[in-house]
Amino acid sequence: MDAEVERGRARLLLVSAPAGSGKSTLVAAWSADRPGGVAWLQVEERDSDAARFWAYLIQAIALARAIPVVELTAAIAGSQGDDEVVVSALVNALAVVLEPLIVVIDDYHLIDNLDIHRGMERLIDLCPTQVTIVLATRFDPPFRLGRLRVRDRLAEVRADDLRFDVDEASNLLGSASRPLERELAGQLCGRTEGWAAGLILAGLSLERSSDRAAFVEAFRGDDQLVVEYLRDELLTSVGADDRRMLLETSVLDQMSGDLVDAATGTAGGATWLRDTARSNQLVIALDRTGTWFRYHHLLRDLLRLEAQRAFPERIGELHARAAAWFASQGDNGQAIFHWLAAGAVHQAADLLSAHGPRLLADGQSDTLRHILEKLGDTARTSAWPALLYGWCEFLAGRYDESDRWLDTMAEVATDDFDQAFAIAPRMNNALARGDVATALAAAHELEATDQLSAHSCTRASAAGAAYAWAGRHNDARRVLRLAVQKAVVERVGAVELNALTHLAIVEFEDGPASSAHAAASTAIATAEAYGLTTYHSVAPAYAIRSRTGSEQPGADASHAVDAARRSSTQLVLAYVLAVCGDTLLELGDATGKTLLTEARTVIDRLPDPGIAGRYLARAESRHGFAEQTTTNRGAIGDQLTDRELSVLRYLPSKMSQREIASELFVSLNTVKTHCRAIYRKLGVGDRKAAVQAARDRHVV
């Protein structure tokens, strides 16, 4: 194992063995003897959210080596933990770290997210030679291990490698004052098959045994008897106060002295923890300062079972005390976890007003969704959980479900709840569905009530995007610049990038090519700084750069299309396909025709695609794929009759022609006649194009 790692060939050291085999102890001892830094991530059951996992891994690495944490965190948050984005950014950051680095991920078997597994395998493939990744796990991860073996990138430690021999058992179990006879050590190794946890349990009792030979003769150390043995031997051998402390603190995943005091209602928790860890190898220190500890999983599981048997009525109280302590420390995430464990769903829901937006900003929507699911019916009767559910559904691409949750929020909100919180996700839902009219109306509402300057960058970004897609260029510039300023102050890189990309769209639609190229380049440079070059939100910037003087227009167009296809936002996809199809056809690449055809398919199913539909129509006409239309650039108000203007103002809505006729108290045929006249006078061929042409001239 050491030889493979020393030669720099093994990128992954896989330590795979059952519980209690001594994996963590081995890795800790091995890494401590090696040169360079050690980053250690202790995985918990709640770490299968991709954004949460990568954020914690980067924090662990940052404690060992200087890496650009702010930029990497922005990449995680902006991409919702997308492994392609995050791994690329992390590999680039590690490439400039010259000293050796060991990255340990303990209890990796708790990860059940295939996206994380895919990202970890990619990280192993791409990480620089000075980095060694160590996974301690109870079973093999779903990697292509055979491929790593063939390429000499894998070193393995298995259960058989971890079994103690007689000499090792003697050293483990004996002491300078009372060494264990070799014959007895051999007997214990035989009974435990060298299993580390069994030997440790035996050692705890050997210290108290007056007849060690008789004890060894009676001891059985297989894992099926661990719980029974721990209960009969360990818990009955400690004093009543220590036993109570062990059981009460079992509700905690990690412990510090202050937390122990708060949860148990006692004093001296720090001293008790250090003394217990000193005498019990199943209490493990998590730092070098002796501040934080955890129980070995075998011991923790036993203690929790025993606590549930001994005082089930007090478990909720212990969790509630822990929740109150974490809340007082500003750790709302842990506080929510313990409130939920205590069955106090309303207290957990109350903390979501502060913690939920933070999880969204960090890209941890999976963690947020898990919390919301734990709330049960409370999520449908409280405004903040319903609002946060709306955001989660939007991020998952389920826009109708998102709107239903936002409707629920509106129904259950109290008078003091600011319902404007829902406007940004409603605008985003509308734009994602290609319904520019609805998003534009919401943007007008925000501005009419002065909801932009006084609130977060998210609202300004959404409103600016609505103005951009509606072709309201000056409004879009003003609001998007505000969004950029606020995003920089609030350090929300994804929103900053989104606003800069939409500014590039505005300049492309309403400015010289040089301005559009500069704006697109600024957005791309920002994406590079944050490690978000493959994030779908930046796709239009690459498309615009390809169209306005890129040194590699074909490569930019290809990158834009690939990024846009990873988005569930059909409006962005349609626009990128149209711009890139236009560019490739200009370059003589017949692939462009395929992209324009696909863009038409997408546009035709959107209710109001705004400028995306207009750009596609122009590109089709320019390349001879559609009949040329001549847009009348005169004063529309002078050319459309009053009745035609009345009909025109209903066209951005979702009303059918029959419904418009009913609203205007005219026949359906009359509305159809007016629509044909409107299309002819505006030089367009359909309702969607008429709406955008009218917007361009500020008629609607």
pLDDT at 696: 80
Which residues, listed in sequence order, are joined to residue 132 by a DSSP beta bridge?
Answer: 102
Q: Could you give the 3-state DSSP secondary structure of residue 605?
A: coil
pLDDT at 230: 62
CA 6, CA 624: separation in Å to the nearest integer?
63
CA 277, CA 78: separation in Å to the nearest integer?
41
Which ranges of the chain have pLDDT less than 50? 4, 7, 221-224, 628-634, 637
pLDDT at 542: 97
Q: Could you give the 3-state DSSP secondary structure of residue 520?
A: helix
User: Which of 571, 569, 575, 514 lies closest to 543, judged by CA?
Assistant: 575
Phi, psi (deg, nearest 5) at residue 546: -65, -30
Place of tokens 């590079």: 528
pLDDT at 311: 94
**At a CB cut-off of 8 Å and minimum separation 6, what does 505 contact?**
468, 469, 540, 544, 575, 611
**At a CB cut-off of 8 Å and minimum separation 6, what does 50 contact?**
80, 81, 82, 83, 86, 113, 115, 116, 119, 366
pLDDT at 220: 56
CA 659, CA 638: separation in Å to the nearest integer?
27
User: Which of 110, 109, 71, 104 lies closest to 88, judged by CA?
Assistant: 71
CA 284, CA 573: separation in Å to the nearest integer?
51
pLDDT at 192: 65
Count of other CB atoms within 10 angstroms of residue 552: 11
Phi, psi (deg, nearest 5) at residue 105: -120, 110
Q: Which two tokens stand for residue 81?
A: 């933990």
